[in-house]
Amino acid sequence: MRCSHWKPVFDAEVSVGILIHAGPTNKGFQCGMLAATHALLDGRAVYLYLLEDAVLGACHVSVESIVRLGGRVSACAYAMEQRDVDCPEGITAAGLTLMSDILLCSERALIFN
């Protein structure tokens, strides 16, 4: 799949939960950011959770853009601690309970690895 030409269709869903596991240099991270951007531009509520290596991209310009567009971004507090990553402003350090809630309570859930 080529992310640069991929645009997810969200139909009439109100909220989209997105879990990203892949690090910022991985195509999965880039596709997750693209999906979050498209959902926000389509007027959807976006809940983004960064897990494992994805926390290394917490300061990435694409994550900052998601925050500026109104996305709610959380990152795994344990993964941030293990990788010595400080939590940037606009991102909530949280545990797996929040990740679980995001995936269970969103009308559409997407996972990128």
Is residue 91 situated within a structural domain? yes
Percent of the chain at pLDDT > 70 equals: 88
Is residue 61 situated within a structural domain? yes
Residue 21: which CATH number? 3.40.1260.10
Which of 68, 89, 71 is closest to 20 using CA atoms? 71
Q: What is the pLDDT of residues 6-43, one digit of tens each?
A: 555 544 557 999 999 999 999 999 999 999 999 999 99
Torsion on CA atoms 55, 6, 38, 103, rounded to nearest 10: -50
- Please write down the HEC assignment for all residues of 17-80: EEEECCCCCCHHHHHHHHHHHHHHHCCCEEEEEECHHHHHHCCCHHHHHHHHCCCEEEEEHHHH
**pTM for the full predicted model:** 0.87
| Number of domains present in the structure of the chain | 1
pLDDT higher than threshold 90 for residue 103: no
Which of 72, 75, 92 is closest to 15 using CA atoms? 72
Is residue 107 situated within a structural domain? yes
Q: Average pLDDT over the chain, rounded to whole?
A: 89
Is residue 2 situated within a structural domain? no
Is residue 5 situated within a structural domain? no
Is residue 9 situated within a structural domain? no
Domain residues for the domain of 32 are 15-112
